[in-house]
Every structure is written in C-alpha cells, then in structure tokens.
Amino acid sequence: MTEILINKIKYKHFKGLEDFDLVLNGSSAVVSGRNGLGKTTLADGLQWLFFGKDSTGAKLNPKPRDKQNQELLGLEPTIEAELIVDGKMTILKRIQEEKWTAKKGDLEKTRSSDSTRYFIDSVPIKEKDWKSYLEKLGGEPNLQMLSNSSFFMTLNWKDRRERLISLTDLTDEQIIKEDDELKEINEFIGDHSIDEMKKILKGQKSDIKSDIDGMPARIQEVTDMKTSLNLGDRTKEAVQKDIDEMAALITEKESWLIDAKAGTVNYELNELKQKQADLRAKLVDEKTKFQTNAFAATSSLQEDFNNQHAIVNSLRTDVSSLEAKEYRMQEALKEKRDFLNAHLAKYKEIKAVDFDEHQKTCPTCGQNLPQNEIEKMVSDFNKSKADRLEKNVEIGKATRQDAKKLETEITGLQKELSEKKNQLQASESRLDEINNDLIFQKNKQGVFEDSQIYRDIIAENTQLETAMERAATKDKNAETDKLSAEIQADKQILAGLNQELQKFDMIKTYDDRLSELKDQDKDLKNQNQVVEKQLWLIEEFTRRKVKRIEESINELFSIVKWKLFDVQKNEGIKEMCEATYQGIEYSSGLNNGARINCDLDIIRTLSREVGITMPVFVDNAESVNALQPIEGQMIELQVTEDEKLKVEV
C-alpha cells in the first residue's frame, strides 16, 4: 500500500494566509481556532497544490483579496509541501505568477492570464510532467477522493455507484452457480448476457403471443375453404369408378367412329351399344341423384357439426389462456408472501434494537454526557427507530394489500376458468350428440346398389346385351357426325368428373394443413409456458443478484450501508446509490457529525481497495463526539475561541 504523509506545508500569500507553516512531522493533528482564521484554507492548500482546486472540488483562484474583495496584485500564491511518500521525503511546490505584457508601441503593461509554475524537489517541471507524477502516485481521481473527506459523496450517484460496484468481484456466473434454483438459466442463456437474454425472451414472448392470437383465425380460414368444396357423401373411389367407365365409353365410341368412317359399321349393333351407353349414363345420373338426396338429408346436421366444432376449439383456446394466466398470478402471489415473511423478520429485527447505553458516556474522559445531550440522543434514536418501523409497516401493508388483491383476482380467475371448463365440457357433449345424429342419418339413407332403380337399370342392361348378341352379324351405315357430337359431350362430362376428383386431393391438403396448424398451436402454447418460466427465472436472478451485490459491498464498510437498488411495486429494479447510517439516508435527515463519520468510513474502505492512504482534512470536526478511525494521517479542523490557529500534533 502506498502511504503519503504530510511532514510540513508552507502557505504564502495563499487566500487569507500571508505566511503560515503547518508542521505535522507525518502525524495526525488537531488544528483549532475561531471562525475566519483559515482552517478550511489549510485544506484548500493541499487540494490546490495537487489539482488547482479547493476542498469542494471547484477550480480555485488563491489570490489574496482586500476588504473590497479585489485581488491584491504583486503577490504570488505559493504552496510548498514536504511529503513523506512510502518513507521517502519529497518536496512539491506550486506558484501562481502574474503575467504582465505590453503591446508593441505601448509603454504601459497590462495583465494577462496568470501562469503556474511547478517544482518537484526544487526542480522546475512542466504541467504535463506534474500530472504524470500525480498519475504515478495513483491518479487525480483517486488522490482527490482519498484526500478530501466529503469528495466521494459530491460525485454524481451513477459515478459513485459504478465505483462501488467495482469493489465486488461477484459475477453473474458465480451467482447462478451458487444458487440451485437458478442453475436452469445455464441451460438456455448460451453465450448471451443476462440483460441480452431478457430482451430476447421478451421479444420471443411478444412474437409467440401474436402467433397464438392469430391461430384461431388461420384454422377457421382453412376450415371454411374445406367446407366450400361441398363434396357431400361422394367418395373418391366412386368418382374414380365413374371416370373409368366414362373413359371406357369414350374409347368405345371412338372405335365406332373409325368403323363408321370406313363404312363397315353394324348399325343395329351400334344402336344397341348406344342404348347401352345411355343406360350407363342413366345409371351414373341416378346414382348422383341418390347421393345428392342423401347429402341434402344430412347437410343441416353437417353444418351444425362444423359450427359446434368451431365453438369447442374457441373454448379450448380460452381455457388454455386462463390456465397460463392463473400460473403467472400464483407465482406472483408466492413472491409477495415470501417478501412479507422476510419483511416481518426485518420488523422484529428493528424492534429488537435498543439504545446503546454506552453512548451516554464521553469516549474521551469517561464521564456521563450532559442530560440534555443524552435526552436528545435518546430522542433522535427513538425517532429514527419509530420512522424505520413506520416505513416497514407501510411497505408491509402495501405489499399485503397487493397480495390480497392478487388473491381476489386469482379467485375470480379460477371461477371464470371453472365456468369456461364447464362450458367446454357441455360443448364437447353437444358435439358428440350432433356427430351421433349425423352418423345415424347417413346410415339411414342406405346405399344406391340396394335401391329399386338400380335393379331396374341392371335388368334392362341384361336385355340389351341379349339383343346385341343377335345383331352382332348385321351391318348398317352410321352417322359419323352424331358419334362425334356424342364423344365431345362425353369428354365434357369426363372433364367435370376429373375436376371433382381433384377436390379430394384438395381435401387432403386442407386436412394436412389443419393438422399442421393444430400442432403449431399446441407447440406455441408449450413454447409460451417455457418462455414465461425462463423470464421468471431471469427476474428472480436479478432480485437475488442485487441483494448479493449490496451485501457484498456493505461488508467492506463499518458504519455506512449502501442502498444500490430499489425494488419497485411492479417488481421492477431501479438503480440508485444512497449511503445510509442506522437506516437514515445521507442526503436527507442525517446530521453533520454522522455525515463526517460516514465520509471517513468511505475513505477508509476506498483506501484499502485502491492501496493508497492520503492525508485527510476533516472540517467541522468539533461536531463529532468520536471520529471514525482511518489508516492514514488525519487533520481535524475544529472551531474554538482561540484567536490564533493552534496546531496540536
């Protein structure tokens, strides 16, 4: 550790000090005197020597001034310090000189900007070499922070927080490794940081929710497209059979046409064949009528079945959504209850703290302090304790109200979920009833092959075949035009049948798509639950991390406790940096004496972490009964009735 001590500082023409030597011989000291004698100026001198600033960190012009607050010209403010740096004597000196110049042709000189001269061990150096020397000692930020007791608390809270966070070596990996409940994070975080993973998961959650919300409409769209095909009870095999028969008939008629053009047609036979073709067409037509009538008898039930199926799907989606919402609210309620248990323990801990009776005794002489001072100390303690208890109760009450509100919301949600499940059960039962009616009606219609019209057509066809055998040897001229027209008409019928067959392929495509969409819907809901759990783990990690960081940093300090995070009512984490002493915040409500001791505790800790001890001037030291000890040299500046500055080493 680097140790820097003051052996002696000479102040000349520096602010209100005309010529003063502060001789400390490397020891701590008490400098006392009435107000206005220059005690604070002593502290300003060391800061100006190093940095050109005063003890508040502001840029300083050290020129002495008269009663009208005008600069006294011709005087050169000078600070010369004999410092003991790690046991070796080093002399630093800084002089501010006036600079007077005359323009060409003018006899009278005018004052321009003052210049500064620097010396190390009587050797004049440049400003950059001076700054380089300070950098070797530890750097201006560290030296200023460790030599000025109140400097750290004047920094912006973000700078203070960043410096404090650097004191702990806790890493995200270490926190996760040491907590069994958080180890699952390693399974999905990959190479990302916690903050990056949180943003990724929130984006995934939004995308998944959007996909889930749009899924019912996509399923309904495909269902409507499938229903619009309107195939009735026709099967693919029946349509294919009609196609094969029509194709065979066309082939047969094309053969007749060739014979007719060649003049070798058996007209009677062809006529009978035409009747047979007509009979076959009639068979197809009657079969189509039979199936159309059967479809008409069941179409209403089919429509009811489709509508009821859509209702069941919608209710299933609602039940899944409500179950996921209940899970999240139950997790939030558990968090509230765990917090209330910890908060109650904190209440008991605060309530158990009693006033330290040793504070009634003077730490220097051992005698009891004046009664009015004791009463004030006891009153301040009781007020602080009461305020802490009241704040604890207020937070507990608000959290309990939040928990009750969650319980009420969960009860209402469970009631709504129960109602939805009952509705789903009733709708599924209704769907089964409609389906059973539909199957019954389809069976009731029977099959075409069992009908009387089918038997009549088959009987007529048998008669035609007998007649065709008799006419097989008779020749007649055929009318080729008639055959050509019939062939063309048959081809149109065949094209229609082929289009009808293609609908079955489209049906399969739609069925495959519906199955795919339902699988996607199920997968999305599973993904949503996984992302919800991962987000909860990330948020739980953040809560535990901030607690560990605060505990790790506060262990380094004796009396100061840092509040680096604030858990909001909405479970969010707000960054902050507030020093507290006995539960009272440094920036509000803390008296001057307690602030001084907090400043010294901060310097002691930072000195250990940086590895440097600097001389520290403590202004208004008379306001503190017992100063916190530090490991370096401390110069107490106390207000007394003495008419001259008094230095006690």
Q: Is the pLDDT of residue 477 over 50?
A: no
For 648, counting Cβ atoms within 10 Å of its Cβ (0-12 exposed, 13-18 middle, 19+ buried), the class is exposed
**In this structure, which amino acid lies at residue 416?**
E
Whether 482 has a pLDDT exceeding 90, the answer reads no
Higher pLDDT, 280 or 570: 280
Asked if residue 620 and residue 521 are part of one domain, the reply reads no
Stretch among 54-58, 279-283, 288-292, 601-605 having the lowest mean pLDDT? 288-292
3-state DSSP assignment of residue 559: coil
- Of 555, 571, 601, which residue constitutes the final position of a domain? 555
3-class secondary-structure state, position 148:
strand
Would you place residue 569 in the very low, low, confident or very high pLDDT band (cuts 50, 70, 90)?
A: low
In this structure, are strands 110-120 and 88-101 parallel, antiparallel, or unpaired?
antiparallel
Rounded to the nearest integer, the mean pLDDT of the chain is 87
- pLDDT at residue 571 above 60? no
Same domain, 186 and 255: yes
Q: Which residues of 209-236 are buried (b: 16+ CB within 10 A; e: fewer)?
A: eebbeebbeebeebbeebeeeebebbee
Judgement on whether residues 178 and 136 belong to the same structural domain of the protein: no
Strand 573-581 versus strand 110-120 pairing type? unpaired
Which of 498, 533, 555 is the last residue before a domain boundary? 555
557: tokens are: 């300090």
Same domain, 42 and 143: yes
478 — pLDDT class (breaks 50, 70, 90): very low
Reduced to 3 states, what is the DSSP secondary structure of residue 95?
strand
Please give the pLDDT value at position 474: 47
User: pLDDT tens digits, residue range 178-205?
Assistant: 888 888 898 888 888 888 888 999 899 8
Tally of domains within the chain: 2
- Report in angstroms the alpha-carbon separations of 158 from 153, 167, 643: 11, 15, 43
The answer on 124 and 87 residing in a single domain is yes
What does the pLDDT look like over 166-176, one tens digit per residue? 888 888 888 88
**Residue 347 belongs to a domain:** no
84-98, 292-306, 416-430, 513-527: range with lowest mean pLDDT: 292-306
The predicted pLDDT at position 94 comes to 97
pLDDT digits (tens, 9 = 90+) for 4-20: 999 999 999 999 899 99
- Residues 148, 188 within the same domain: no
Closest CA to 305 of 438, 162, 425, 496: 438
- Is the residue at 313 inside a domain? no
The half-sphere exposure of 106 on its side-chain side, counting CA atoms within 13 A, is 8
Amino acid identity of residue 577, one-letter, is C
Q: Examine the domain organization and report whether 28 and 134 are in the same domain.
A: yes
Which range has the top average pLDDT, 25-29, 228-232, 549-553?
25-29
The predicted model scores a pTM of 0.53
My answer on whether 6 and 149 are in the same domain is yes
As a whole-number percent, the residues of the chain with pLDDT over 70 amount to 94
Per-residue tokens: 431 = 């769907």
Residue 297 — pLDDT band, cuts 50, 70, 90? low
Please give the Cα distance from 247 to 493 (Å, whole number): 10
The answer to the question of residue 213 being in a domain is yes
Verify that 185 and 245 share a domain, yes or no. yes
The number of helices, as runs of H, and strands, as runs of E, in the chain is 14, 14
Assess whether 143 and 258 both reside in one domain.
no
Q: What is the pLDDT of residues 394-421, one digit of tens each?
A: 998 999 998 999 999 999 999 999 999 9
Do 123 and 205 belong to one domain? Answer: no
Helix intervals (H) in 450-591: 452-470, 480-554
Domain annotation covers residue 142? yes
Strand partners, 77: none
- Residue 510 lies in domain: 168-265+477-555
Bridge partner residues of 20 (DSSP): 11
In sequence order, what E strands does 158-277 have? Answer: none
CATH of the domain at 620: 3.40.50
Asked whether residue 77 falls in the same domain as residue 150, the answer is yes
Cα–Cα distance between 597 and 620 in angstroms, integer?
Answer: 11
User: Which among 504, 525, 507 has a CA at the least distance from the CA of 515?
Assistant: 507
